[in-house]
Structure 1
Amino acid sequence: MSALDRFLGGSPIQVILRLIVISFVVGVILAWLGVSPHDIFGGLERFVRRIWAMGFDAFDEIWRYFALGAVVVIPIFVLVRLLNIGRGRG
């Protein structure tokens, strides 16, 4: 058995014929359910757009947390550094 046969799970001709038959059966079932290729690709596009939007919304929330923390941490850091310089430990 060649590497290609092992990768495909059989000879290329058998696999192609099997895929044609399965594609036809699935196509008949989806047509019976009223689903078109346009619906599938449109749904996939909407899914990717939602994931994309959620990702950037997450970055927006992370930025807000960072800014909120920085408003407290940076002044304290500067104050501590100034106090250390005043004590001669700078």
Structure 2
Amino acid sequence: MSGTNVNGFLGGSPVRVIVQLVVLSLIVGFVLSYFDLTPLDLLDVIKRNIIRLWRTGFDALGEIGNWLLVGAVVVVPIFLVTRLFASRR
């Protein structure tokens, strides 16, 4: 990989990018330490939120399924009766 490819991939010179990453890491580390958070705490929060979102999504699908069944109890018989009368014409 030539120097220009590396610069293009990193978005700047490697030294500049390393300095930016070090400064950003220090700032993020300070903020996380201030709030007494560790990377494992953050991963745990993300995991719990994904699981909760997953369950909520399936609960919503279950609710939609209930609506579908309740609606079908009314709609399907009406559809069948109207089709039956339409076929007699």
Task: In structure 1, list runs of 5 or more residues that go unmatched.
Answer: none
* Cα separation, 2, equivalents of 1:25 and 1:86: 78
Match of 2:66, SS state, is: helix
Task: In structure 2, list runs of 5 or more residues that go unmatched.
Answer: none
Post-superposition Cα deviations, 1:1-45, rounded to whole Å, max 9, x if no partner, equal x57646644223311221122102321331232111111000011
Corresponding pairs, count? 87
Q: Kindly indicate whether residue 69 of structure 2 is the aligned counterpart of residue 79 of structure 1.
A: no
Match of 1:26, SS state, is: helix
Match of 1:20, SS state, is: helix
Aligned with residue 17 of structure 1, among 11, 16, 19 = 19
- Paired amino acid for 1:64: N
Residue correspondence of structure 1 range 1-90 to structure 2 within 5 A: 2=4, 5=7, 8-87=10-89
* Cα separation, 2, equivalents of 1:60 and 1:69: 14
- Paired amino acid for 2:20: R
* Cα separation, 2, equivalents of 1:48 and 1:66: 27
Identify the range of structure 1 (20-29 vs 57-66) with the bigger mean alpha-carbon deviation: 20-29
Distance change in 2, residues 1:41/1:78 (3 Å): same
Q: Percent identity, aligned pairs only?
A: 42
Q: TM-score scaled by structure 2?
A: 0.79
* Cα separation, 2, equivalents of 1:7 and 1:43: 31
* Cα separation, 2, equivalents of 1:83 and 1:29: 72
- Paired amino acid for 1:33: F
